[in-house]
Structure 1
């Protein structure tokens, strides 16, 4: 990515020129110039009606909605900083995992997965920035399946059926999707932009046709039926990333004196009145000084699937055995972190083609692309590609026991691979070993060989992980064990997906491009016959790759559910004035990329809270 880095650096350095500054403002890109140089500074014992911890998709949504009431003072606490030009450039998504915008979590060493990673540790990227993971992810907008939400409701989570949550998805959405202008499944007036990715390679057109030839119908996967193939829908606005911060907070921040945003501020525990089991406020650290904020109405944790359970446990809310083992007093015994579901996928298979100039390599990005993207506002350059992701396919496994309209697998079509950035960001961000890159991908890079990858992801894993604390220090990571592939059937689902991916590439539309499977054996799998089922099983356990979809660490459920941490109203069981509002409350692994659900959860939580306090 050296060329792109040099060109982008040159462009950023030129931003001081008045002519360019005026052009950016005319193009609606003034936020590139306004980098929050004067963040709010905490004041000890400051009081607010609501304190929201974590400025990700749910937290930004919730803070924006609550602060619509001018009588309510709202504080939004975020450990990270502010987006810059790299965050707004979709093709740079992979590079963001190597920056301070990433919490940089890793799993504990995995016995049955992540064998291609250093120390067998899977990287678990999470956003540490205003906007949270929505400011550093790959911008895929996928809400989930009707049956996901109906299953939540069937578990006793009243108010969370599909018909009840769809209005909240729609409330957040401003869709610009070709052919779906009049769809009842899309809204055009919400804060969050959802649009087609305007840059498309010729490879993706051939792939979509091939998928149709293989029997996968065209679909709107956020519409009536998920099953089928579709060009990807993305959280971008005119070809630029549209994060939770850009959509919900930035437009109103300077207009609402009752909304105080605190970047670079780390919450360390919830302040609790033990006698009444009532949240009183938050302890936080800013520039190595400790402060306390008081909450008149509620403390709301929106810190994500890892940080929200960590904060609960640091505050004495969690499993008794874990809390006592590290010397924390037990305020409320709850199964915090006892469940962790994640979507594991296989990074591949990869296919080479006879085309030229279609795969996104660093050398394919030109100065003209950069000037067109940043100065002319062109949303159709290579820089608008969302990390190379161009299409999604939703399908059933032949072994599935689920209803026919509930997908088991997803193919993510990427116009590239780890070779797309010369073995830098994607490889390092995912913690892949050098041997993996040097053997499989470096030859593609050196030859500038056109190719594409089909990532195969399983939606409903049977393997269950967990999260726990190993000490009382709020500045150390929790221990995270996703326990990938503990249930061997998860591997078999991915094997089914790999076979179908290969079948699609044998259809006429892709064969016309000379598409063929990259037949270099994965390091560590050479003892298996290439292409056999056992070879692919080995590859699945080696090329393990997660897509930021961890859920259920603060699981939602009624008080009668022994696995539940929060109620259907998102209130922490047994506590007062304390809620969790983020994807950690999702009770089962969804048929979705979880970012869209986080916005929905934030929108619904705002109504729940307003209903209680108005």
Structure 2
């Protein structure tokens, strides 16, 4: 009798638990649906007015720390983590945004988080040689805001770049930045969880999970085999060689998107006594002291909850607010081009070329190909069920998986000048919002079938064009002016490279693997149609200028170098001529890497942490 009573009790407990789990999952499905709906109707801000709203006349003392890190983005999170390893140091990490959530943990949802509170909402100034198919000829310029920064909303591709990139940094006279110098830092950060990779180039016990996604999109094999027939080889593009084709390596922990916040800060935030993470804190000014003509950064001023605070650093202030936020804060504080600052009545602390070297990877987003294969889109419930198993396109990032690197001048010779990738997102995300498309191109994108068509991104990896970033006013509520200046190089070399990439992709349509799936070009550029009969090249040039966008890769705005004429920080990331101030983020790259900056930024943060520890005798 007792046996049957126990059995009945166990069955009852199982039934209650099963129903509880089922109810919990149903609530999660509702949560995801609600968040998708929220991002559909969310309007990105056009300025920072909500952040600078101060309703208290007093300035409060937030305390003194050894180091203040401004910006909890890609670099700031890892750098902060490494600084906390010195238990005698007290660290303040300031972030204007909030923490991530269960929605941002789902890899595929970066399609939606671009239109949420995790994006600052920047757009470029009107362009005249690119973004011509966008509203007001402005490209969107997504930049992450929150614990993890742009790693929250970007595609999280782990692509380090080419060894030639880092050797070129060293060739500029920046000691310690060659590929052999930087490779150990890539390895240190990484915790790779893949079944095939080049030995000696990857780490297995770091803080950052790197993985593939499963299963492959329906067009993956056909596109891969077409490239293999064209002469490319499969490659671990973060290993010995970069030129070739393979699967994306992602910052992915089983089914969860990995960000700087989740990898480096979340695991220690509750139990680390020497770290203060202050969210929703918008830094508006660096505090300087003048000691007999020597300027020293001694703290920062920030706004949180309608109150103004001063926080002080006994050792250093470190800016990691990204290639947009860091130069903006420097210029607001008086560090930047003298003439520009004086025109805005900002007292000049140091005349430096802040914002003068904006470099970005232009990506052509208009190459659509139709196949006879159909993606099984499913509904949110089904896709979340698959995601919990680490499967399906909710477990992918942008539903992209083929990635290739070629040299269009000679396909097999390193380094590459082009990256291409395939995207198969069976989603209803409005392309008009995603790319800021004008009315003509909004209509064009509605003709593409998200279940049968795939998009091939074509990316110029070594652009010669240089843009700039400037203050719009001395008011920190105003967004800065951003001009990526795509395709403005004098000899049209940048656009020619993208055109050559398109020609390579079109040549693949003649291969047996893509013919077998009836792969057919369906891309449209209606404002360029009049050029078709005159010149195919002119037609594609027009299409490229109409449908170029950013790939979240701005860099160079606080360039590392040895001269104050063309750089802002030295090889240790210290701002020229100012004590106690460093800038550690993509803005400090002297040259943009031939990959996705995420990995290189983390390597820069790892190295800078060691430089700091060594300087203070803690390494």
The answer to whether the superposition gives a TM-score over 0.5 is yes
Determine the C-alpha separation between the residues in 1 that align with 2:126 and 2:586: 24
5 Å matches for 1:145-156?
Answer: 145-156=162-173
String of CA shifts for 1:110-136, please: whole Å, max 9, x gaps.
011000110000111110010000111
- The aligned counterpart of 2:415 is 406
- Pick one of 243, 246, 269 that aligns with 1:227: 243
Structure 2 residue 61 is the aligned partner of structure 1 residue 44 = yes
- Would you say the 8 A contact 1:389–1:413 is kept in 2? yes
Q: 1:449 to 1:201 in 2, by over 3 A?
A: closer
* SS of 1:151 mapped into structure 2: helix
* SS of 1:105 mapped into structure 2: coil
Structure 2 residue 177 is the aligned partner of structure 1 residue 160 = yes
5 Å matches for 1:549-588?
Answer: 549-558=553-562, 560=563, 562-588=565-591
Determine the C-alpha separation between the residues in 1 that align with 2:603 and 2:147: 18
- The aligned counterpart of 2:394 is 383
- Pick one of 207, 224, 249 that aligns with 1:191: 207
Determine the C-alpha separation between the residues in 1 that align with 2:342 and 2:26: 51
Structure 2 residue 434 is the aligned partner of structure 1 residue 457 = no
Q: How many residues align?
A: 564
* SS of 2:458 mapped into structure 1: strand
Higher mean Cα deviation, 267-276 or 108-117?
Answer: 267-276
Structure 2 residue 609 is the aligned partner of structure 1 residue 606 = yes
* SS of 2:300 mapped into structure 1: strand
- The aligned counterpart of 2:51 is none
- Pick one of 421, 424, 427 that aligns with 1:415: 424
- Would you say the 8 A contact 1:423–1:437 is kept in 2? no
Determine the C-alpha separation between the residues in 1 that align with 2:380 and 2:297: 54
5 Å matches for 1:158-557?
Answer: 158-180=175-197, 183-275=199-291, 276-357=294-375, 364-373=377-386, 377-398=388-409, 404-416=413-425, 420-422=426-428, 424=430, 426-439=431-444, 441-445=445-449, 449-487=451-489, 488-518=492-522, 520-529=524-533, 532-557=536-561
- Would you say the 8 A contact 1:274–1:331 is kept in 2? no
- Would you say the 8 A contact 2:89–2:274 is kept in 1? yes
The alpha carbon displacement at 1:328 in A equals 0.7
- Would you say the 8 A contact 1:319–1:336 is kept in 2? yes
Determine the C-alpha separation between the residues in 1 that align with 2:386 and 2:302: 39
The alpha carbon displacement at 1:519 in A equals 5.1
- Would you say the 8 A contact 2:112–2:429 is kept in 1? no
The alpha carbon displacement at 1:366 in A equals 2.7
- Would you say the 8 A contact 2:298–2:314 is kept in 1? yes
Q: 1:470 to 1:444 in 2, by over 3 A?
A: closer
Q: Point out the structure with max Rg over C-alpha.
A: 2
Determine the C-alpha separation between the residues in 2 that align with 1:584 and 1:432: 28
- The aligned counterpart of 1:21 is none
The alpha carbon displacement at 1:83 in A equals 0.8
* SS of 1:274 mapped into structure 2: strand
- The aligned counterpart of 2:595 is 592
String of CA shifts for 1:574-604, please: whole Å, max 9, x gaps.
0000000101000112101111111111111
- Would you say the 8 A contact 1:131–1:243 is kept in 2? yes
Q: 1:147 to 1:213 in 2, by over 3 A?
A: same
The alpha carbon displacement at 1:368 in A equals 4.9
TM-score normalised per structure 1 = 0.89
Q: 1:14 to 1:136 in 2, by over 3 A?
A: closer
Determine the C-alpha separation between the residues in 2 that align with 1:268 and 1:373: 44
Determine the C-alpha separation between the residues in 2 that align with 1:118 and 1:468: 22
Determine the C-alpha separation between the residues in 2 that align with 1:55 and 1:415: 31
The alpha carbon displacement at 1:80 in A equals 0.4
Q: 1:49 to 1:603 in 2, by over 3 A?
A: same
Q: 1:124 to 1:390 in 2, by over 3 A?
A: same
Q: 1:45 to 1:524 in 2, by over 3 A?
A: same
Structure 2 residue 127 is the aligned partner of structure 1 residue 121 = no
Q: Unpaired runs of 5+ in structure 2? A: 1-23, 33-58
Determine the C-alpha separation between the residues in 2 that align with 1:174 and 1:115: 42
- The aligned counterpart of 2:126 is 109
Q: Unpaired runs of 5+ in structure 1? A: 1-6, 16-41, 359-363
Determine the C-alpha separation between the residues in 1 that align with 2:303 and 2:441: 40
Determine the C-alpha separation between the residues in 2 that align with 1:231 and 1:556: 32
- Would you say the 8 A contact 2:218–2:374 is kept in 1? no
TM-score normalised per structure 2 = 0.88
String of CA shifts for 1:18-64, please: whole Å, max 9, x gaps.
xxxxxxxxxxxxxxxxxxxxxxxx96241110000000111000111
